[in-house]
Amino acid sequence: MHPLLSLGVFWLLPLALTLGEDSPLDCIPRRTVLYNRDNAHLFHEEGVFNYSTMLLREDLGLLMLGAREAVYALDLNNVSKKLASVKWEVTDKQKTDCKNKGKDLETECKNYIRTLHKMDDNRMYVCGTNAFDPECDYMSYVDGILTLEKKIEDGKGKCPFDPFQRYASIVVDDSLYSATSMNFLGSEPVLMRNSDTSIRTEFKSSWLNEPNFVSMAQMPESEKSYQGDDDKVYLFFSETAVECDCYNKLVVSRVARVCKGDVGGLRTLQKKWTSFLKARMDCPVLESQLPYIIQDSYRWCDLQQPWKDCLFFAIFTPQSDTSGLSAVCVYRVSDISRVFAEGKYKSPVTVETSFVKWVMYSGEVPVPRPGACIDNAARKEGIKVSLDLPDRTLQFIKDKPLMDHVIQPIGEKPLLVRKGATFTCIIVNQAQAADGNKYHVMFVGTEEGTILKAVNYDGEMFIIEEVQLFKPPEPIKILKFSNVTGQLYAGSDYGAVQIPLATCGRSLSCMDCVLARDPYCGWDKVAGKCVALSDAQSELIQSVKDGNATLCPGADPVKPVNQIIWPGGNLKLHCPSPSNLANIMWQQDDRSLSFSPLILHQPDGLLILNASYSNAGRYRCVSVERSKVAEYTTTIAEYQVNVDPDAGKDGHRFGPQPQRGGPSVAGLQAVVGLLVVSILALLAWNFYKGHLPLPWECRNKNREQSQQSHEQGDLNATVTKGPALAEDKPLVSGADNGSRNNNHTDGEVGFSAAEGENAPEVSLPSLQFIDDESEI
Ligand SMILES: *[C@@H]1O[C@H](CO)[C@@H](O)[C@H](O)[C@H]1NC(C)=O
Ligand SMILES: *[C@@H]1O[C@H](CO)[C@@H](O)[C@H](O)[C@H]1NC(C)=O
Ligand SMILES: *[C@@H]1O[C@H](CO)[C@@H](O)[C@H](O)[C@H]1NC(C)=O
Ligand SMILES: *[C@@H]1O[C@H](CO)[C@@H](O)[C@H](O)[C@H]1NC(C)=O
Ligand SMILES: *[C@@H]1O[C@H](CO)[C@@H](O)[C@H](O)[C@H]1NC(C)=O
């Protein structure tokens, strides 16, 4: 080995390797799919924005899409196909009124469609913000025509006034349940049922305190209930905590629920819920002291199983720190239900004349239990409807709607945590893999217009891919799934798209197909393609839990590409990595290639600068990817590089991108310096992030182990069985050889360490709850 090359091994190779390794918090997607028109069918209409309300009409083969001042009926099989549409614009008078109230004419004084529901008579109920004066109407789709019936109803309490305010709604038994603000100022939040006997929440901060409504879901809890229980409607939201014993405002996540049969009380709680109970939901991310805030939830039920086995998948984001982490926590409906049915209540206690503390209530609880639905036991006592409930029970629930118990996610930790684009919404689908097991596949929308596809394999988080759906990046505002078409639908301010659950064809080799660990995809040996399990003609190769590609047939040898370069010239050898989890290695004449300031390893290939005769040879680019059971090496590209002193002279351009003549010494040094600095900055950042502790596992962990074999230059073997021993490498080994670039190294690493020490410590008021009245 050249002395120069061995030098490179000592200090640049560890750098390059560490670069490839990610801090465990960065559960990076295995594959990143950049924006491409073919990623999805897109629907967008010129001049129309805010496609954020969706209703699946599988019975009609339609996707109903609510946007600003318009509703569309799109073909469920191809959303690019608009079948019908109807405009719903605000009148000039409404516009003027809205403007006179101080609202913005171009944004707020428009009609944003916010509510779209199917009613029992097949019509649809649609509401819009209507220039801060919400209205609702019935809409029908007959003979390919979409019509608003112009039977305008007041939308107060059904739909927000403010288009930027969060809201939630659901239709159960033909009644609309809505969670929104009832007035122009947005200061009267309610959860209400709109029917002949409309009922709503109290205007009390102990009921709803500056809430942000997130989502609603119904649970058929009367099904086979031997207590004669009622169905429930659940509401997820966040609000300012009343129970927090702290100086600053603290926001917490909540789940509340009401009984479907609730008609309010007779005197106390007249036309108000008698069954409104709420509890705090926790999603513990790292040691964050401030609770994470719920942003979306998805009810997942197995239709063959009883409701108790349903799950709620919820997205959480931090409330104030800048960690950039988002999380998914999953809750059992039965856990939530049990807290409401059996848990202790919290009670306000006045201390020192005016200050109120919320503590666990340990006194006597009236019968029937406050907040409980009317059940067989109550009926036996002659209480047939909520109107019959005794005042004692009603007064109790009016004062104490908050449960003492905090609802914890399954496993008491998140299912997925990721640093990067903030999560916005979630959908979950169950896939049966070739191993016969069923897995929950999470599709998570982000602020940057991408969708992450992730599975938690026995506690190990694995992000199969991240696909860019919108360009420029637009936050994903809504996600829906149709089990009839098997497609996902996503909406953003710019448009709506439709994507399949899996695009197996993105994997071109068996190795890539198996290591992708996508439960929907497997390798068809006969067809030589990565195909969907549902389309399989024969038995497929798949190994979602382990990523065991042993059964994959050997790949065809790669044909070398000839490249010619002249002394002093530059050459780029391309090598796109199939996986973010793979390490790319280069060999020159079957020996491991060492990088140096003149041979640079870039994410998409190798850059040779100021070529000399020693650069001639056969180059091979291999990807080394470690799965749970083995390390797999695949040759991606091969190049035969020849050095020809005459090549540059005749003005010919050879190869894909060889540049004519070398740049000036100063220019070259600047380029090299810049590259090294940016690599080091990245490295420093990596280490900085690496300081954070991690309570769960991520696939990337295994990458440390795969590095060991890289220096051995033994890349001919396709499979290295068993985990190689990981050896602790110094941060920058052999970095003290005094070159200019090394000074940079020291500077950068020193800086990052300092940054680590000064990392913002979360020392804001922690949630201090007093557990018992006796503690006061
Ligand atoms: C509607 O879309 C426009 C254009 O992208 C965006 O600027 C605006 O914030 C959106 N309005 C709402 C209420 O989301
Ligand atoms: C979807 O509809 C669009 C617009 O009508 C059409 O151009 C496109 O070919 C359709 N795609 C498929 C796969 O049918
Ligand atoms: C789709 O889901 C609905 C309930 O959401 C269910 O009634 C229906 O049977 C499902 N259809 C298919 C094809 O799985
Ligand atoms: C990988 O799969 C092969 C073939 O199914 C099997 O023989 C081998 O034991 C598996 N390896 C591991 C580590 O599970
Ligand atoms: C390029 O290489 C030649 C010979 O190896 C050397 O004389 C020259 O200084 C090098 N140029 C740069 C910019 O490093």
Q: Which residues contact 604 (CB under 8 A, 6 or more apart)?
A: 574, 575, 576, 577
Whether the CB of 743 sits within 6 Å of ligand 4: no
Residue at 588 is within a domain: yes
| Structure confidence at residue 697 as a pLDDT band (50, 70, 90) | low
Edge-to-edge strands of the sheet including 605-608? Answer: 571-574, 605-608, 599-602
Pocket residue to mutate for ligand 4, from 541, 629, 632, 720, most atoms within 8 A of Cβ: 629
Is the pLDDT assigned to residue 199 strictly greater than 90? Answer: yes
Structural contact between residues 533 and 434, judged by C-beta atoms closer than 8 angstroms: yes
Mean pLDDT on 479-508: 95
Per-residue confidence (pLDDT) for residue 698, from 0 to 100: 60
* 568 CA distance to ligand 5 middle (Å): 7
pLDDT at site 774: 43
Domain stops at, among 643, 663, 693? 643
484 CA: nearest ligand 3 atom: 13
pLDDT score, position 709: 34
Give the CB-side neighbour count of residue 690, counting CA atoms within 13 A. 19
Cβ(319) – ligand 5 distance below 6 Å: no
CA of 29 to the centre of ligand 4 (A): 25
Residue 204 falls inside a structural domain = yes
Contact 267, 391 (CB under 8 A): yes
pLDDT at 404: 96
C-alpha distances out from residue 455 to 329, 452, 459, Å: 13, 10, 9
Tell how far the Cα of 444 is from the centroid of ligand 1, in angstroms.
Answer: 21
Residue 494 counted as domain residue: no
What's residue 644's pLDDT? 84
Q: Kindly report the CA angle at 631 between 625 and 633, in degrees rounded to 5?
A: 65
Considering only CA atoms, which residue is closest to atom 14 of ligand 3? 483
Provide the mean pLDDT of the chain.
82
On whether both 541 and 638 belong to a single domain, the answer is no
81 close to ligand 2 (CB < 6 Angstrom): yes
Output the CA 299–ligand 3 centroid distance in Å. Answer: 14
529 plus 589 within the same structural domain: no
380-413 pLDDT, tens digit each: 999 999 999 999 999 999 999 999 999 999 999 9
Ligand nearest to the CA of 59: 3
Indicate if 214 and 285 belong to the same structural domain: yes
Does residue 64 belong to any structural domain of this protein? Answer: no
pLDDT digits (tens, 9 = 90+) for 700-717: 444 433 333 333 333 333
pLDDT, residue 628, reads: 87
Instruction: Tell me the CATH number at 578.
Output: 2.60.40.10
CATH (domain of 508): 3.30.1680.10
Strand arrangement, sheet containing 232-240: 212-219, 232-240, 251-259, 277-281, 402-407
- 698 by Cβ neighbours in 10 Å (0-12 / 13-18 / 19+) ranks as buried
Ligand 1: nearest atom to the Cα of 68 = 1
Check whether 11 has a pLDDT greater than 60. Answer: no
Does 621 fall in a domain? yes
Range of the domain at 611: 561-643
Instruction: Give the per-residue pLDDT at 432.
Output: 93
Residue 678: what pLDDT? 54
Q: What is the pLDDT of residue 534?
A: 85
Amino acid at 619: Y
The answer to whether residues 611 and 517 belong to one domain is no
* Rounded-to-integer distance, Cα 123 and Cα 138, Å: 7
* pLDDT tier, 595 (very low <50, low <70, confident <90, very high otherwise): confident
Tally of domains within the chain: 3
Our mutation pick for probing the ligand 3 site, out of 58, 299, 303, 304, counting the most ligand atoms within 8 A of Cβ, is 303
Tell me: pLDDT of 10 over 70.
Answer: no
Across 160-231, the runs of DSSP E, i.e. the strands, are 168-172, 175-181, 189-194, 199-200, 212-219
Tell how far the Cα of 521 is from the centroid of ligand 3, in angstroms: 22
CB 482 near ligand 5, within 6 Å? no
Q: Could you tell me if the CB of 484 is within 6 A of ligand 3?
A: yes
Q: Which atom number of ligand 5 is nearest to the Cα of residue 668?
A: 13
Q: Do 237 and 199 lie in a common domain?
A: yes
- Here the CATH number for the domain that contains residue 278 is 2.130.10.10
Residue 760: its pLDDT value, please?
A: 36
Whether 82 is in the pocket of ligand 2, judged by its Cβ within 6 Å, is no
Shared domain for 567 and 628, answered yes or no, is yes
Cα–Cα separations (whole angstroms), residue 149 to 86, 93, 136: 11, 21, 10
Taking 70 as the threshold, does the pLDDT of residue 175 lie above it? yes
Q: How many angstroms is it from 78 CA to the middle of ligand 2?
A: 6
Closest CA to 546 of 429, 419, 714, 433: 433
Ligand lying nearest the CA atom of residue 47: 1
Return the bridge partners of 425, or none: 445
The per-residue pLDDT for 711 is 33
Q: Is the CB of 163 under 6 A from ligand 1?
A: yes
Residues 278 and 407 reside in one and the same domain: yes
pLDDT in tens, 414-438: 999 998 899 999 999 999 999 999 9
Residue 91 binned pLDDT confidence (cut-offs 50, 70, 90): very high
Q: From the CB of 737, is ligand 5 less than 6 Å away?
A: no
For residue 48, report the distance from its CA to the centre of ligand 1, in Å.
10
Domain shared by 281 and 380, yes or no: yes
For residue 56, tell me if it sits in a domain.
no
Would you say residue 252 lies in a domain?
A: yes
Q: Is 612 in the pocket of ligand 5 (CB under 6 A)?
A: yes
Pair 529, 604 in one domain: no
Task: Count CB-CB contacts under 10 A for residue 590.
Answer: 12
511 lies in the same domain as 617:
no
Residues 595 and 625 grouped into a single domain: yes
pLDDT digits (tens, 9 = 90+) for 222-270: 998 999 999 999 999 999 999 887 778 899 999 999 999 999 999 999 9
Neighbouring CB atoms inside 10 A of 497's CB total 25
Q: Using only C-alpha atoms, what is the Rg of the chain?
A: 31
DSSP state for residue 552 in the 8-state scheme = S
The mean-pLDDT minimum among 83-92, 103-112, 628-637, 681-690 falls in: 681-690
- Mean local confidence (pLDDT), 121-137: 96
For position 771, what pLDDT does the model report? 45
pLDDT tens-digit readout, 345-378: 999 988 877 778 899 999 999 999 999 999 999 9
Q: Which of 521, 554, 587 is the last residue of a domain?
A: 554
Q: How remote is the CA of residue 575 from the centroid of ligand 4, in Å?
A: 30
Residue ending a domain, among 584, 611, 643, is: 643
Residue pointed to by tokens 């893999």:
433
Q: In a 10 Å sphere around its CB, with 0-12 CB exposed, 13-18 middle and 19+ buried, how is residue 97 labelled?
A: middle
- Whole-number Å distance, alpha carbon 82 to ligand 2 midpoint, is 10
Q: Are residues 595 and 631 in the same domain?
A: yes
Q: What is the pLDDT of residue 351?
A: 82
Atom of ligand 2 nearest to the CA of 41: 1
Indicate which residue's Cα is closest to atom 11 of ligand 2. 78
Distance from chain centroid for Cα 637? 34
**Ligand 2 atom nearest 77 alpha carbon:** 14
CA of 299, nearest ligand number: 3
Is residue 595 domain-resident?
yes
Strands 460-468 vs 31-33: parallel, antiparallel or unpaired: parallel
